[in-house]
Chain A
Amino acid sequence: GAGVSQSPSNKVTEKGKDVELRCDPISGHTALYWYRQSLGQGLEFLIYFQGNSAPDKSGLPSDRFSAERTGGSVSTLTIQRTQQEDSAVYLCASSWGTANQPQHFGDGTRLSIL
């Protein structure tokens, strides 16, 4: 079956522009996660959606970052007024949302801020 899909796979933009990153989770998965991974580093948690509950936004690094999940499915991560330090790979994952379930990852969006 289809896995987690992220688009675009690569995005190059100028400093100060806004960007939108999209994640299509696996159908039926109620939990959706966004992470940021800098080159050669581990994953930094950004935000977590679970069903209709209020999202856990505790990992968002600044108010320039926001995310929404429409209809409990597709999610969009928006970064406003991008800075060079926002350059990273943004990974999305989804899971069934119940206890002891693995996360399924997309291949990420590689964001480069010039």
Chain B
Amino acid sequence: SQQGEEDPQALSIQEGENATMNCSYKTSINNLQWYRQNSGRGLVHLILIRSNEREKHSGRLRVTLDTSKKSSSLLITASRAADTASYFCATDNYGQNFVFGPGTRLSVLP
């Protein structure tokens, strides 16, 4: 069964707006990671947040983690057309294999 489940499945916004994607998971984790995938390419790592962290920033990205609710969110501020991609969360279950969610397809319209 899926450990990470992203929400929404698809999101369409205008350039300059903020985009928020959510991820829920079921079991205890060591860390949670967010990845981006452009069409026809492999996944690119965006940000890693450890289980003892609550918020992390990287450029226009902001990730939060709520272990009590077993959820995380990815916020992309001031979105650009180049942010159009699929975004996946992945949970690292203490050295066992990573489990990826089905992803959120983000479309940023110019």
Binding site for B on A (CB under 8 A): 4, 33, 35, 40-43, 45, 48, 56, 58-59, 91, 93, 99-100, 102-108
Contacts and interface: CB of A to CB of B under 8 A. Distances in A.
Interface of B: 2, 30-31, 33, 35, 40-45, 48, 50, 88, 90, 92, 95-103, 105
A93 B88 CA distance: 15
A43 B30 contact: no
Which of A35, A93, A102 neighbours the largest number of chain B CB atoms within 10 Å of its CB?
Answer: A102
A33 B43 contact: no
B88 A100 contact: no
A42 B97 contact: no
Given A91-B43, A103-B98, 10 more contacts: A4-B42, A33-B98, A42-B88, A43-B88, A45-B98, A45-B100, A56-B96, A93-B43, A103-B33, A105-B43
A40 B40 CA distance: 11
